[in-house]
Amino acid sequence: MKQASSEKMKQRAAIVLVAIAAVAVVWAVLSMYGGPSAEPAAPAAPAAKDKSAPKLESLDPRLRLDLLANSEDVKYEGRGKNIFSAAPEPVEIPKVKKSPLLIKKEQAAAAAAAAAYRPPPPPINLKFFGITNARGEKPKAFLSQGDDVWIAHEGDVVDGHYKIIRISPASIEVEDLLHNNRQNIRLSEG
Protein backbone atom coordinates (compact mmCIF):
# COMPACT_ATOMS: atom_id res chain seq x y z
CA MET A 1 0.00 0.00 0.00
CA LYS A 2 2.77 2.35 0.82
CA GLN A 3 4.33 1.83 -2.58
CA ALA A 4 1.12 2.73 -4.38
CA SER A 5 0.75 6.00 -2.43
CA SER A 6 4.39 6.96 -3.12
CA GLU A 7 3.83 6.30 -6.82
CA LYS A 8 0.77 8.58 -6.81
CA MET A 9 2.77 11.30 -5.04
CA LYS A 10 5.45 11.12 -7.69
CA GLN A 11 2.86 11.36 -10.46
CA ARG A 12 1.21 14.40 -8.87
CA ALA A 13 4.58 16.16 -8.41
CA ALA A 14 5.49 15.50 -12.05
CA ILE A 15 2.12 16.89 -13.23
CA VAL A 16 2.56 20.07 -11.14
CA LEU A 17 6.13 20.62 -12.48
CA VAL A 18 4.99 20.12 -16.10
CA ALA A 19 2.16 22.61 -15.59
CA ILE A 20 4.55 25.23 -14.14
CA ALA A 21 6.99 24.72 -17.03
CA ALA A 22 4.15 25.08 -19.59
CA VAL A 23 3.01 28.37 -18.03
CA ALA A 24 6.62 29.71 -18.04
CA VAL A 25 7.09 28.82 -21.72
CA VAL A 26 3.80 30.43 -22.78
CA TRP A 27 4.64 33.62 -20.82
CA ALA A 28 8.16 33.85 -22.44
CA VAL A 29 6.77 33.36 -25.96
CA LEU A 30 4.05 35.97 -25.52
CA SER A 31 6.43 38.60 -24.11
CA MET A 32 8.88 37.96 -26.96
CA TYR A 33 6.37 38.37 -29.76
CA GLY A 34 4.58 41.45 -28.52
CA GLY A 35 2.02 40.08 -26.22
CA PRO A 36 0.64 42.23 -23.47
CA SER A 37 3.40 44.40 -21.98
CA ALA A 38 3.51 47.17 -19.48
CA GLU A 39 4.22 50.65 -20.79
CA PRO A 40 7.44 52.16 -19.43
CA ALA A 41 6.90 54.94 -16.96
CA ALA A 42 7.37 58.46 -18.28
CA PRO A 43 10.60 60.12 -17.14
CA ALA A 44 10.13 62.41 -14.17
CA ALA A 45 12.38 65.17 -15.56
CA PRO A 46 13.59 65.68 -19.10
CA ALA A 47 17.23 64.66 -19.49
CA ALA A 48 19.74 67.39 -20.27
CA LYS A 49 20.76 67.22 -23.89
CA ASP A 50 24.47 66.51 -24.38
CA LYS A 51 25.81 67.35 -27.82
CA SER A 52 28.57 64.75 -27.65
CA ALA A 53 26.26 61.89 -26.60
CA PRO A 54 24.45 60.29 -29.56
CA LYS A 55 20.71 59.78 -29.41
CA LEU A 56 20.02 56.10 -29.27
CA GLU A 57 16.30 56.51 -29.91
CA SER A 58 16.89 57.95 -33.37
CA LEU A 59 17.39 55.57 -36.25
CA ASP A 60 18.23 58.37 -38.69
CA PRO A 61 20.73 57.04 -41.30
CA ARG A 62 22.13 60.48 -42.14
CA LEU A 63 25.81 61.25 -41.48
CA ARG A 64 26.36 63.19 -38.25
CA LEU A 65 29.23 65.60 -38.96
CA ASP A 66 29.23 67.00 -35.42
CA LEU A 67 30.04 63.57 -33.99
CA LEU A 68 32.81 63.07 -36.56
CA ALA A 69 34.33 66.47 -35.70
CA ASN A 70 34.35 65.53 -32.00
CA SER A 71 36.17 62.27 -32.74
CA GLU A 72 38.75 64.03 -34.95
CA ASP A 73 39.72 66.40 -32.13
CA VAL A 74 40.70 63.55 -29.79
CA LYS A 75 44.47 63.36 -29.27
CA TYR A 76 46.15 60.05 -28.47
CA GLU A 77 47.80 60.23 -25.07
CA GLY A 78 49.27 56.80 -24.51
CA ARG A 79 52.31 55.69 -22.53
CA GLY A 80 54.61 56.36 -25.48
CA LYS A 81 54.34 52.84 -26.90
CA ASN A 82 53.86 52.54 -30.65
CA ILE A 83 50.47 50.84 -30.93
CA PHE A 84 51.22 49.81 -34.51
CA SER A 85 54.42 47.93 -33.70
CA ALA A 86 54.33 44.17 -33.24
CA ALA A 87 57.66 44.12 -31.36
CA PRO A 88 57.41 43.95 -27.59
CA GLU A 89 58.41 46.92 -25.47
CA PRO A 90 61.97 46.72 -24.15
CA VAL A 91 62.01 45.77 -20.50
CA GLU A 92 64.29 47.74 -18.23
CA ILE A 93 66.10 45.41 -15.88
CA PRO A 94 66.96 47.09 -12.59
CA LYS A 95 70.60 46.99 -11.59
CA VAL A 96 71.44 45.11 -8.44
CA LYS A 97 73.24 47.21 -5.86
CA LYS A 98 76.34 45.63 -4.38
CA SER A 99 76.86 45.79 -0.67
CA PRO A 100 79.80 47.88 0.55
CA LEU A 101 81.31 44.80 2.20
CA LEU A 102 81.26 42.91 -1.09
CA ILE A 103 82.84 45.87 -2.90
CA LYS A 104 85.63 46.08 -0.30
CA LYS A 105 86.19 42.33 -0.55
CA GLU A 106 86.45 42.50 -4.36
CA GLN A 107 88.85 45.46 -4.17
CA ALA A 108 91.03 43.63 -1.64
CA ALA A 109 91.10 40.53 -3.85
CA ALA A 110 92.05 42.66 -6.90
CA ALA A 111 94.78 44.42 -4.91
CA ALA A 112 96.14 41.08 -3.67
CA ALA A 113 96.16 39.69 -7.21
CA ALA A 114 97.95 42.81 -8.48
CA ALA A 115 100.51 42.59 -5.66
CA ALA A 116 101.06 38.87 -6.27
CA TYR A 117 101.85 39.41 -9.93
CA ARG A 118 105.24 40.89 -10.55
CA PRO A 119 106.47 41.28 -14.07
CA PRO A 120 109.89 39.83 -14.67
CA PRO A 121 112.70 42.36 -14.20
CA PRO A 122 114.32 43.72 -17.34
CA PRO A 123 117.59 42.07 -18.37
CA ILE A 124 120.88 43.80 -17.53
CA ASN A 125 122.28 45.12 -20.81
CA LEU A 126 125.94 45.32 -19.78
CA LYS A 127 128.56 43.51 -21.80
CA PHE A 128 131.54 42.07 -19.84
CA PHE A 129 134.53 42.03 -22.18
CA GLY A 130 137.63 41.89 -19.98
CA ILE A 131 139.34 41.80 -16.59
CA THR A 132 142.64 42.98 -15.06
CA ASN A 133 144.07 41.19 -12.09
CA ALA A 134 147.31 42.89 -11.02
CA ARG A 135 149.09 41.82 -7.83
CA GLY A 136 148.04 43.76 -4.78
CA GLU A 137 145.09 45.40 -6.47
CA LYS A 138 141.45 44.54 -6.58
CA PRO A 139 140.36 42.98 -9.86
CA LYS A 140 138.88 45.44 -12.38
CA ALA A 141 136.16 44.57 -14.88
CA PHE A 142 135.75 46.17 -18.30
CA LEU A 143 132.08 46.71 -19.10
CA SER A 144 130.28 48.33 -22.00
CA GLN A 145 126.74 49.31 -22.94
CA GLY A 146 126.38 50.62 -26.47
CA ASP A 147 129.20 53.21 -26.94
CA ASP A 148 129.81 53.68 -23.19
CA VAL A 149 132.73 51.82 -21.51
CA TRP A 150 133.32 51.48 -17.75
CA ILE A 151 136.15 50.11 -15.62
CA ALA A 152 134.75 48.99 -12.25
CA HIS A 153 135.90 47.30 -9.01
CA GLU A 154 133.72 45.09 -6.77
CA GLY A 155 131.17 47.33 -4.96
CA ASP A 156 131.23 50.09 -7.61
CA VAL A 157 127.99 51.37 -9.17
CA VAL A 158 127.97 51.55 -12.98
CA ASP A 159 125.54 53.70 -15.03
CA GLY A 160 123.83 54.89 -11.84
CA HIS A 161 121.98 51.64 -11.05
CA TYR A 162 124.17 48.56 -11.70
CA LYS A 163 126.27 47.47 -8.67
CA ILE A 164 129.19 45.10 -9.24
CA ILE A 165 128.90 42.35 -6.61
CA ARG A 166 131.67 39.86 -7.57
CA ILE A 167 134.28 39.65 -10.32
CA SER A 168 135.67 36.29 -11.45
CA PRO A 169 137.83 35.48 -14.51
CA ALA A 170 134.92 33.94 -16.50
CA SER A 171 131.91 35.97 -15.30
CA ILE A 172 130.73 38.90 -13.26
CA GLU A 173 127.77 39.17 -10.86
CA VAL A 174 125.79 42.42 -11.23
CA GLU A 175 122.79 43.71 -9.21
CA ASP A 176 120.21 46.06 -10.73
CA LEU A 177 119.48 48.47 -7.85
CA LEU A 178 116.24 49.78 -9.40
CA HIS A 179 114.59 46.37 -9.81
CA ASN A 180 116.44 44.42 -7.07
CA ASN A 181 117.60 41.86 -9.61
CA ARG A 182 120.91 39.94 -9.68
CA GLN A 183 122.35 38.47 -12.84
CA ASN A 184 125.59 36.75 -13.86
CA ILE A 185 127.13 38.06 -17.05
CA ARG A 186 129.63 35.80 -18.82
CA LEU A 187 132.83 37.03 -20.46
CA SER A 188 132.08 37.72 -24.10
CA GLU A 189 134.60 36.98 -26.81
CA GLY A 190 135.30 39.08 -29.83
CA–CA dist 175, 157 (Å, integer): 9
Does 144 reside within a domain? yes
Q: In this predicted structure, what is the pLDDT of residue 10?
A: 92
> Model-level pTM greater than 0.75?
no
Nearby residues of 148 by Cβ (< 8 Å), 6 or more positions away: 159
Does 131 reside within a domain? yes
The phi, psi pair for 43, rounded to 5°, reads -65, 145
Does 22 reside within a domain? no
Task: State how many domains the chain has.
Answer: 1
**pLDDT (tens digit, 9 = 90+) per residue, 145-187?**
888 999 998 999 998 889 999 998 889 999 999 888 899 989 8
What domain range is 165 assigned to? 127-186
Does 152 reside within a domain? yes
3-state secondary structure of 131: strand
Instruction: Assess whether pLDDT exceeds 90 at residue 53.
Output: no
79 versus 105: which is more confidently predicted?
Answer: 105
CA–CA dist 141, 161 (Å, integer): 16
CA–CA dist 108, 94 (Å, integer): 27
Instruction: Assess whether pLDDT exceeds 70 at residue 48.
Output: no
Q: What is the CATH number of the domain that holds 139?
A: 2.30.30
**pLDDT (tens digit, 9 = 90+) per residue, 10-30?**
999 999 999 999 999 999 888
